[in-house]
Copies of this chain bind each other. A is one copy, B any other.
Amino acid sequence: MEVYKDEKKRIYLENNSIAYLFGFQVDEFIEVHEYQRGEWIIQEGMRPDFLFYVMEGAAKIYITHQNGKVSLINFISANDYIGEMELLNDVYYTKGIQASTKTICFALPFYRYRTQLMEDAKFLRELTKFLSVKATLRAAKYSQSLAFPLENRLADFILQTADEGIYKEKHITVCDYLGVSYRHLLHVLKQFCDKNYLQKEGRNYQIIHYDSLYKLAEVLKHN
């Protein structure tokens, strides 16, 4: 992890204004952090000292269960907050957040800004919107996961993440995210290939029959 200093920090701040997020001046004590792929932005179970706002990159939120099973809870990308739960709640079990690409974020030290943030309508309004969108997405995903078999959810996931007709997510990530076993994921992928919805090309899968996948995924949408 690198903390931008002096000139480097100044330049980054100049080129990436986040004044629109706050009703007051934050420049003085704000930091700019850069994390490499694989680095932990927050360690599971340890409260962070900063409120982060992600500018570039992507990360994943994980939680470890008592039985050792690890769940990927969600993806984080540009314009997401990190540490907002800890800002708002004194009692909160901190999830682990790991950068999955190089990730740059602004970091506001709690000890310095907590009081001001909690009284700033502009900030609170932005955060509220962020939280409500997050809650909505999560609710949708949750009720889907209970109501539909992997076949439908995977079709949706493939269409969402495929790039130019090519699906190339890591299986391990996907089973975490969709909450199924590795074995079963492969099984359903094979079915898709057998049915000619996909065609395997080395590590990747090319979408052959878009419509069939779309039909499977469509079932997830309510109305």
Interface residues of A (CB under 8 A from B): 45, 63-67, 69, 71, 73-74, 84-85, 88-89, 92-93, 95, 118-121, 124-125, 127-129, 131-136, 138-139, 141-148, 178-180, 218-223
Contact = CB atoms under 8 A, between A and B. Distances in A.
A89 B133 contact: yes
A133 B134 CA distance: 12
Contacts of A118: 125
Contacts of A88: 128-129, 132
Contacts of A92: 136
Given A143-B63, A221-B66, A135 B136 contact: no
B136 A138 contact: no
A150 B148 CA distance: 16
Contacts of A93: 222-223
Nearest to A180: B146
Copies of this chain, complex-wide, total 2
Contacts of A69: 147
B145 A146 contact: yes
A71 to B, nearest CB: 4
A222 B132 contact: no
Contact of A142 (B45, B67, B141): B141
Given A125-B124, A129-B88, A147-B179, A222 B63 contact: yes
B141 A131 contact: no
A135 B178 CA distance: 18
Query: Which of A45, A71, A124, A147 is the most central at the interface, judged by chain B CB atoms within 10 Å of its CB?
Result: A124
A136 B87 CA distance: 13
A144 to B, nearest CB: 8
28 contacts: A63-B139, A64-B223, A66-B220, A66-B221, A66-B222, A67-B148, A67-B219, A71-B146, A71-B147, A73-B142, A73-B143, A85-B132, A85-B136, A88-B129, A92-B136, A118-B125, A121-B121, A128-B131, A131-B131, A131-B132, A134-B135, A138-B138, A138-B139, A141-B142, A143-B179, A145-B179, A146-B178, A146-B180
